[in-house]
Amino acid sequence: MWLGGRGWLGFLVQWRLVLRPFSFAKTWGGCRGPMAGTLSTGEESGGGLRTLVQQNGDAGSDAKDESLPGPPEPTGRGAEPAVGSGDAAPESGEPASAPAADPGKRKKRRGAAGERVVPPPKKRRTGVSFGDEHFAETSYYFEGGLRKVRPYYFDFRTYCKGRWVGHSLLHVFSTEFRAQPLAYYEAAVRAGRLHLNEKPVRDLSIVLKDNDFLRNTVHRHEPPVTAEPIRLLAENEDVVVVDKPSSIPVHPCGRFRHNTVIFILGKEHQLKELHPLHRLDRLTSGVLMFAKTAVVSERIHEQVRDRQLEKEYVCRVEGEFPATEMTCKEPILVVSYKVGVCRVDPRGKPCETVFQRLSYNGHSSVVRCQPLTGRTHQIRVHLQFLGHPILNDPIYNSVAWGPSRGRGGHIPKTDEELLRDLVAEHQAKQSLDVLDLCEGDLSTGLTDSTATSSESANDSLEELATAPQKMDGVHEAASQHLGTPGMAAETHGMNQETDPLCAECRLVRQDPLPQDLIMFLHAFRYKGPDFEYVSPMPAWAQEDWQED
């Protein structure tokens, strides 16, 4: 029957109202967990700016970082990004908003006797930062030129994924979260660490239903970063611009949360609710920009989309770089989002970088880099291809690439062999954090070049207890000490820095040297139509600098 203008309008309104609840439930039903932080899905340190308006306070990507399913964390004021690791990433992401009823709009459903009541997800606000309650979780201390975070308790939260529906928690843990033995999860149940729809889990045989909400309390240890301060380059009513030291991730990802630029700016400079306008790899230093409002963020991102933004980096590379200006247009393919490794490949995405040598000291060269596109690790991969990798690049100047170290795209290994050798090298050096990995990630497979960045980021968020590392006999002993509910609460009150369930507490790790946390790649200048920000040249970029 033909409907007039008013009739069609009424029909469409009713149709949208019918579909809206379905769309909302579907979106949250598939919501991924917390920062598992082992990916490097973000822009290369030299990569272009991308829209990160929602990354600070809404589900995002990044970089790689850790533990039981976790949701995108508290939303609204004080919400944190659900990124990832790293920077390289995959700089994990963070928890999802906790379930809470929305008074005045949706009444809490009361189930029949014995039926679980699933609280509706809380509304999310984009573009907000962390609140004081997040900053108060723990504190910093400085030692040996390093900024360290005292271990602390943290809740990872997530909604039940579609593939978990109809399966028991025991099944999910044994098939998807094998970084920990079942003895750990059994001990966590007895300790009151696992919650389903905000009620303590008493039995791992409980079967999951659609939109169930899980919360896991874990003991977190963060890797140290440099003690070098984050210096403010500029601040006005629109933006905050800082000189980021090497080794500090931009936002929570992987195992990093408090040791991130976002948290340090909030805790030490009272700069909150910032919108990251771009990101730098964790080991990259230099100009880093934040917008103070969503309006400014969108305006600058519009300039990025219109290619009105100029970026300039400096680096120190091996050997005598050609004196004439060079342009590299080799396409780049992501080998693994989880590990954060790329290479030149005809199947990769097109990209372009312009290089100009600034100086040569007889052993290494300082090179200016102008990325005209924004692919992952673009500058580093192109320099490796040209046979002049960054002098101390822990990934692209590694012997794992073979005798030629990837020059000319010659890599005498399969992707699986390359990743295996890279991981083995850093595992031997106790430097898996460089790859935004932890020991628990090694059992889950590392080659994921066929996955999209968002898929990889989401999968990485499924790490259910990454902070504790597997050790023979540790969890069995913990089971005996944590056999009664309520023990977790007592532990919270007694001592935040040690935990009987946490195997990481029993490991003795050697601290990195401050010089080991530096890579010779620096974001020197960012210029737009109405702004230009420049950071000081690092010591290693001076013409007369000599290697130790």
Which residues are tagged catalytic? 281
Whether the CB-CB separation of 69 and 33 falls below 8 Å is answered with yes
Q: Rounded to the nearest 10 degrees, what angle do helices 474-481 and 182-190 cross at?
A: 20
Whether the CB-CB separation of 253 and 91 falls below 8 Å is answered with yes
Q: Where are the beta strands (DSSP E) in 399-541?
A: 521-528, 531-534
* 274-283 burial code (b ≥16 CB/10 A, e <16): bbbbbbbbbb
Place of tokens 């991102």: 301
What the block records as the tokens of 474 is 């540790």
- Positive or negative torsion for Cα 472, 473, 479, 482: negative
CA distances to 61, 152, 384 from 389, rounded to whole Å, are: 27, 38, 4
Q: Which amino acid is at 93?
A: G
CA proximity to 467, closest of 493, 429, 434, 441: 441
Q: How far apart are CA 387 and CA 262, in angstroms?
A: 35
What the block records as the tokens of 267 is 């805790």
What the block records as the tokens of 297 is 């963020």
Distance of CA 36 to the CA centre of its chain: 7
Q: Which amino acid is at 496?
A: Q
Residue 428, class by beta-carbon neighbours within 10 Å (0-12 exposed, 13-18 middle, 19+ buried)? Answer: exposed
HEC-encoded secondary structure of 324-338: CCEEECCCEEEEECC
CA proximity to 257, closest of 78, 144, 97, 130: 130
Q: What is the DSSP string of 171-192?
A: HHHHHH-TTS-HHHHHHHHHTT
Q: Dmax of the chain from CA atoms? A: 84
Q: How far apart are CA 99 and CA 114, in angstroms?
A: 20
- Positive or negative torsion for Cα 376, 280, 75, 212: positive
Helix (H, G, I), strand (E, B) or coil at 461: coil
What the block records as the tokens of 257 is 């949360």
Q: How far apart are CA 115 and CA 123, in angstroms?
A: 25
Whether the CB-CB separation of 97 and 121 falls below 8 Å is answered with yes
Task: Determine how many CB atoms are found less than 10 A away from the CB of residue 509.
Answer: 11
